[in-house]
Amino acid sequence: MDNFAYLLVDRTSKEAIVVDSGWETNPILKAVQAKGAIVKYVVATHEHFDHTSTIADLAKQLNSKVVAHSASPIEHDISVDDGDELVIGRSKVRVVHTPGHTADSICLYDGENVFTGDTLFVDTIGKFDDSNADDMYHSLHDVLMKLPDSTMVYSGHDYGEVPFRTLGEEKADNVFLRAKSLSEFVSTSG
């Protein structure tokens, strides 16, 4: 399924956040060791098993806290909501609630980069059912698209021509972000 997991490290303190755990912990543990990172939080961008199946084990191995949205059904230590911040050293990462793919979907924004889980991919978006079309449209058009065009988008899977690119490039090329109305958005997904 080509899942991505991310390690965000504050340069000064070496405190860190792991974004999603994916299928295996060894590559993440190696990256943590290579960076000399001290992982405070392991964050679930949403409840799906391909992002969380190893999250409890990873957090235990790293002596970290599992973080998830307050609506998440996964077992977690810290509940977050839209606008909350996770602090690592001198760095702050803002939680952006983006329901649509799932009710508990969140993105993480550090002021330059956004980690979108399965909300937004390169050239496409996460799957949603008809009952979540309003939520997904709002999350994309009224929330994520308000971030600066220079924001780098890092998604939860490698489904595009490239693994990441700017939000401005996504706005220009992603048919879902070009939709001018909810009805156009829904017909695009059909």
Tokens of 15: 């405190």
Looking at residues 29-41, what average pLDDT do you find?
A: 96
What confidence score (pLDDT) does residue 189 get? 77
Domain ranges, ordered by start, for the chain: 6-189
Longest CA–CA span in the chain (Å) reads: 49
Other C-beta atoms closer than 10 Å to the C-beta of 89 total 15
DSSP, res 142 = I
Looking at residues 111-136, what average pLDDT do you find?
A: 91
Looking at residues 24-49, what average pLDDT do you find?
A: 94
d(CA 44, CA 48): 9
Tokens of 112: 């330059």
Task: Determine contact, residues 105/117, Cβ cutoff 8 Å.
Answer: yes
What confidence score (pLDDT) does residue 86 get? 98
d(CA 28, CA 190): 37
Strand partners, 40: none
The pTM of the full predicted model, rounded to 2 decimals, is 0.95
Percent of the chain beyond pLDDT 90?
82
Q: How confident is the model at residue 131 (pLDDT cuts 50, 70, 90)?
A: low
Q: What is the DSSP string of 103-118?
A: TT-EEEE-SSEEEEET
Is the confidence at residue 130, as pLDDT, over 80?
Answer: no
* CATH superfamily ID and name for 6-189: Ribonuclease Z/Hydroxyacylglutathione hydrolase-like (3.60.15.10)
Which among 67, 11, 70, 22 has a CA at the least distance from the CA of 40?
67
Percent of the chain beyond pLDDT 70?
98
Q: What is the pLDDT of residues 37-83, one digit of tens each?
A: 999 999 999 998 888 889 999 999 999 999 999 999 999 999 999 99
- Residue 56, classed as helix, strand or coil, is helix
Is the confidence at residue 190, as pLDDT, over 80?
Answer: no
How large is the angle between the packed helices 26-35 and 55-62, nearest 10 degrees?
30
Average pLDDT, the chain: 93
Task: Determine contact, residues 74/44, Cβ cutoff 8 Å.
Answer: yes
d(CA 89, CA 140): 30
